[in-house]
Every structure is written in structure tokens, then in C-alpha cells.
């Protein structure tokens, strides 16, 4: 796995540099750079739209009482697509745009779902209670607190202190 990661970080920049050189020679420097900016803007808008749609699907699936495994996988792939689209380069943009296609995400999900582990867990809040055989100490935990009824106190402060 570490070797694959190393090769990816070595090969992808080489591919990007080669594509920059080829496109720069073919269409020129400024159109090449403008293309990078435009793909990042279009990609971020598409990611936002698909992400909001995906949140609705997750909500509907959980409301129906089902675990949204497919939607969670789609969300992960959309996050990867977003990172790839914001990374400058035509190769990473191409892979990012491919991940925006639901059929491509479905194909990847179908290949990986047997290797994925999806689990859900629930936790409960803890609380402290007292039984009648062991009541809390009067005044609570703070010894400086004194409980008084309304007729057992008076306000001795003057109007300037209120």
C-alpha cells in the first residue's frame, strides 16, 4: 500500500507536467492556465450541488430506517472528486470529473462494497441519581449555598447598589 501511494505521488505530477507542456505548446500559456481556473470553478459548483443532493438522500434513507452505506460511499467519492478538482492539473481534473458521474461512482461502489465495513453505534448519556435511602446532602454539593424561603431574607442594599 505504501509503495502504491509513493508511486501515485511520483507518477501523477509527472503526468500533470507533461500535460501542461503539451497543452501549453498546443493552445498557449494563457488558455492553459485559464482552463485550470475554469475547471476548478465548474468543479466546485458541481460538487456543491451534488453534495447538497446527497445530504437529502442520506436524510431520506436514515428516516426510512436503512443504513445509508451507498450514500456515504458517494460522499467519500465526492470529497475525493472535490480535492482532485481543486488540485491544479488536467489529469486530476479528469479523474475528479469522472467521480462526479453517478454511474462511475456506482461502478466503483459495486467493486469495493464487499471490502467496506459499515457499522453504526449508539451511545447513551450517563446521569447521577439519588435514592430515597441515600438522599443528596442538603444544599447540594456546594457548602456555601444557603436555601431560604422568600420571607426569610431582605434586601439591605441601597438603590445605588441594585
DSSP secondary structure string for all residues of 75-97: HHHHHHHHHHHHSSSHHHHHHHH
* Residue 131: pLDDT over 70: no
* Residue 118: pLDDT over 80: no
**Cβ neighbours for 35, distance < 8 A, ≥ 6 positions apart:** 23, 90
CA–CA separation, 92 vs 99, rounded Å?
A: 11
- How do residues 11-66 score in pLDDT, each as one tens digit? 999 999 999 999 999 999 999 999 999 998 998 899 998 888 998 999 999 999 88
- Alpha-carbon dihedral angle through residues 13, 15, 21, 23, given to the nearest 10 degrees: -120
CA–CA separation, 151 vs 144, rounded Å?
A: 20
Domain limits for position 105: 12-115
* H or E, element range at 19: helix 2-27
Could you tell me if residue 4 is inside a domain?
no
* Greatest mean pLDDT range, 64-78, 131-145, 147-161: 64-78
- How do residues 96-106 score in pLDDT, each as one tens digit? 999 999 999 99
Could you tell me if residue 84 is inside a domain?
yes
Could you tell me if residue 155 is inside a domain?
no
Could you tell me if residue 136 is inside a domain?
no
Q: What is the largest CA-CA distance in the chain?
A: 92
Average pLDDT over every residue of 84-92 = 92
* Residue 127: pLDDT over 90: no
Could you tell me if residue 100 is inside a domain?
yes
Residue that is written with C-alpha cell 447521577 in the block: 128
Could you tell me if residue 107 is inside a domain?
yes
In the predicted model, what is the mean pLDDT of the chain?
A: 83
Could you tell me if residue 86 is inside a domain?
yes
The residue ranking higher by pLDDT, 149 or 142, is 149
CB 84 within 8 A of CB 99: yes
pTM (2 d.p.): 0.65
Alpha-carbon Rg for the chain, nearest whole angstrom, is 30
Could you tell me if residue 28 is inside a domain?
yes
Identify the pLDDT of residue 96: 94
| Domain count of the fold of the chain | 1
Amino acid at each position: 500500500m505504501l509503495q502504491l501511494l509513493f508511486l501515485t505521488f511520483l507518477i501523477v505530477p509527472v503526468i500533470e507536467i507533461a500535460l501542461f507542456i503539451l497543452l501549453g505548446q498546443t493552445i498557449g500559456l494563457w488558455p492553459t492556465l485559464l482552463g485550470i481556473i475554469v475547471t476548478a470553478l465548474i468543479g466546485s459548483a458541481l460538487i456543491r450541488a451534488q453534495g447538497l443532493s446527497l445530504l437529502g438522500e442520506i436524510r431520506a434513507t436514515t428516516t426510512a430506517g436503512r443504513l445509508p452505506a451507498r450514500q456515504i460511499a458517494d460522499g467519500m467519492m465526492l470529497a475525493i472528486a472535490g480535492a482532485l478538482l481543486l488540485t491544479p492539473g488536467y489529469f486530476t481534473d479528469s479523474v475528479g470529473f469522472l467521480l462526479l458521474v453517478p454511474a462511475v461512482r456506482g461502478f466503483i461502489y459495486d467493486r469495493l462494497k464487499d471490502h467496506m465495513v459499515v457499522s453504526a453505534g449508539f451511545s447513551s448519556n450517563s446521569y447521577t441519581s439519588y435514592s430515597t435511602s441515600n438522599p443528596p446532602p442538603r444544599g447540594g454539593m456546594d457548602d456555601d449555598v444557603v436555601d431560604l424561603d422568600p420571607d426569610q431574607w431582605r434586601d439591605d442594599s441601597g438603590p445605588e447598589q441594585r
